[in-house]
A and B are shown apart, each in its own frame.
Chain A
Amino acid sequence: GQNIDQPTEMTATEGAIVQINCTYQTSGFNGLFWYQQHAGEAPTFLSYNVLDGLEEKGRFSSFLSRSKGYSYLLLKELQMKDSASYLCAVRDNYGQNFVFGPGTRLSVLP
């Protein structure tokens, strides 16, 4: 079956670093996406990994290990505006669909 797990909620302090984990079990793998979604708004694209390793983009980095079915999103120098839900999504081999995780709601406290 298709399954993606993420922690439901996380809390961190402004200026700190937080790591949001995503584990997946899918029928195939053709890339993993991270999206940010503020409450009641559109999800926006953050990062894409298809090969193992770390992709860095400013304050945000994303890591992938295909053998472990594992990814994480790393947010550095947290800001209040980073309070949002973070969605992990896997694209399967057949290219027919994305499988989305339930999302992790991150609260950044002053």
Chain B
Amino acid sequence: DGGITQSPKYLFRKEGQNVTLSCEQNLNHDAMYWYRQDPGQGLRLIYYSQIVNDFQKGDIAEGYSVSREKKESFPLTVTSAQKNPTAFYLCASSIALNEKLFFGSGTQLSVL
């Protein structure tokens, strides 16, 4: 079955540590996205990628980094510069930029 896989489901970060969230899709979609979801707020865009080897900052990119070396993969690194990382992180993909989004099941990141 085609879909988007995020791992891990739960992740804990220690102070000063970088952590990487995995996102893999086998839908053959060109565009991929990372969103952050906080209680009571809408999804906020962190980074997006329209095509392999290209990515753009979203609305809240500070303290995050991404790479897009393969079409299927779009990992997100939460760096120590992100002072409030506790949130639910959702990866999404679409056949082309800003077409209907397909979401992964999310990663809950918490700070120890």
**A interface list, Cβ under 8 A from B:** 4, 8, 33, 35, 40-45, 48, 87, 89, 91, 95-103
Contact = CB atoms under 8 A, between A and B. Distances in A.
Interface stretch (B13-21, B69-77, B78-86, B97-105): B97-105
A99 B98 CA distance: 11
Given A4-B42, A8-B40, 19 more contacts: A40-B105, A40-B108, A41-B105, A41-B106, A42-B104, A42-B105, A42-B106, A45-B100, A48-B100, A87-B43, A97-B45, A97-B98, A98-B45, A99-B42, A100-B35, A100-B42, A100-B43, A100-B44, A103-B42
A99 B45 CA distance: 9
B98 A98 contact: yes
Contacts of A8: 40
A98 B35 CA distance: 11
A105 to B, nearest CB: 10
